[in-house]
Each structure stands twice: as C-alpha cells, then as structure tokens.
Amino acid sequence: MTKSATVDRLLAVLALAGLVLTVGLAQPASACSCAETDDAELFAQADAVFVGSVIDVAAARPAGPIWSSGDPVIWTFQVREVHKGEVVRTQEVVSAASSASCGLELPRRGTYLVFADAASFDHEPAQLTANLCGGTREAGVALAEGLGSARPPNPDPVPIAPAPAVSVRSPWSPPLAAVAGAIALGILGLAVATRRARRRP
C-alpha cells in the first residue's frame, strides 16, 4: 500500500468518526420520543387531570444551578377545575427542566389541561409530576367528552403553625416562695430563742 493510499484511508476514518460524534452529540435534543395515544388512554394512566393557569416556574433546588436537562423544576398552577384525582387550588407539578428529558414544554404563561401522576417518595406529599408524553396541552384543546366531569379543586393545605412556647413555671412561685421564706425565718428565730434560753443560768 502506498503512502498516499494510507493517508486517504486515515482521512476517511477520521471523517467517519467525526460524523458519528456529531450525530451522537445531537441525539439528546430528540432523546424523548412519545408514542401516539388518545385521551381515553392518557386519562386512564394519569393519577390527576385538571385545568389550570401557570403562575410560577422555578427550579426545585433554587440554591444551585441547573446542571442537566433532567434536573427538576416546579410548575405552579392556579387550578380552575378538576377532572380526576386529588388536586388543590394552588397545585405544584414537578417535571424535568427540558423536553430533551421529557420535561413539560409549555409557555410560562397560559391555561393548560394537565395530565399528572402522583409524586414519588422524594417529593412533597401534595406535589404531582408530569412529563412531555403525558398529554398536557393548552386548555383550548378540550378533554374528550365523557372523561371525568369537572369539579372544583380542593382547598390549599393549611400551613402547620409552630407550637407555642410552653412556659415552665418553677414550683417555687412568688407567693409560695414568700410563705416558705417566712416559715424558714420563723424556724430560725425559734432556734435562736431556744439557744438563748438554754444559756441563761
């Protein structure tokens, strides 16, 4: 094999490797693939279905930056009506930060029909979870007829107030302490008087 042929083969191998690397790096942008399903199946799979407006979107770990597309964010909805499940008036829904990891891909303003699942053990009890393939969409695309009649959301949970500080009073309260002091002085006085009486000839 001539030197020229060897160089040509090496260039071809490098070009192929570059193509594979390019495809591999571009792959995460379309890593989430959703199967086609209808409302009946989406409704059956979801733990909660509701209509609500987005009022906030925030990182679930505000102390640190988002490191990957799978990091959680919390979508907060003002719920208008519930079609299935236990949903509160101000409902938090946890999802991945990016659609590349099947996170919700919604404008941060608007009203949506949300299909959600019960939160896992590492979330707050009242939170729900949702993903790109669950069926969540703009509320203008109504839920198929016959799937869950609308009802109002549950009230927001009442924050648990800290228990009031309990003042532990000493058993020696001021009146009791005064009485005890008087008795002690009386006993002391009696002892002194008795001792003096004994010293008299």
| CATH number of the domain residue 131 falls in | 2.40.50.120
In a 3-state reduction of DSSP, which class is residue 53?
A: strand
> Span 176-198, mean pLDDT?
64
In a domain, 117, yes or no: yes
| pLDDT value at residue 108 | 87
Q: Give the CA distances from residue 62 to residues 58, 59, 69, 126, in Å, rounded to whole numbers and listed in that order.
A: 7, 5, 15, 19
CA-CA distance, 184 to 182, in Å (whole number)? 5
d(CA 49, CA 40): 12
Q: pLDDT tens-digit profile of 108-167?
A: 899 999 999 998 766 777 899 999 999 999 998 888 888 889 999 999 988 766 666 665
The reported pLDDT for the residue numbered 69 is 79
147 and 39 in contact (C-beta within 8 Å)? Answer: yes
pLDDT in tens, 65-116: 657 778 899 999 999 999 999 999 999 999 999 999 999 989 989 999 999 9
pLDDT at 70: 82
20 pLDDT tier (thresholds 50, 70, 90): very low
Extract the tokens encoding 108.
């941060």
Task: Look at 95 and 184; give whichever has higher pLDDT.
Answer: 95
| Residue 128 resides in a domain | yes
pLDDT at 170 over 60: no
Q: Does the residue 144 lie in any domain?
A: no
Integer Cα distance of 138 and 170 in angstroms: 64
**Domain-embedded: residue 134:** yes
Closest C-alpha to 91, from 140, 56, 136: 56
Q: What is the dihedral of CA 136, 46, 127, 140, to 10 degrees?
A: 30
Q: List the structure tokens of 186.
A: 């009386």
CA–CA separation, 112 and 128 (whole Å): 15
Band of the pLDDT at 21, cuts 50, 70, 90?
A: very low
Let me know if residue 77 belongs to a domain: yes
At 143 the pLDDT is 86
Q: Residue 96 has what pLDDT?
A: 93
DSSP state of 62: T
Query: Does the residue 15 lie in any domain?
Result: no
Q: Is residue 7 part of a domain?
A: no
**Residue 146 has what pLDDT?**
82
Total domains in the chain come to 1
pLDDT of residue 12: 57
**What's residue 117's pLDDT?**
96
Please tell me the predicted confidence (pLDDT) of residue 144: 85
In a domain, 168, yes or no: no
**pLDDT for position 74:** 95
Print the domain residue range for 79: 39-60+70-138
pLDDT at 47 over 70: yes
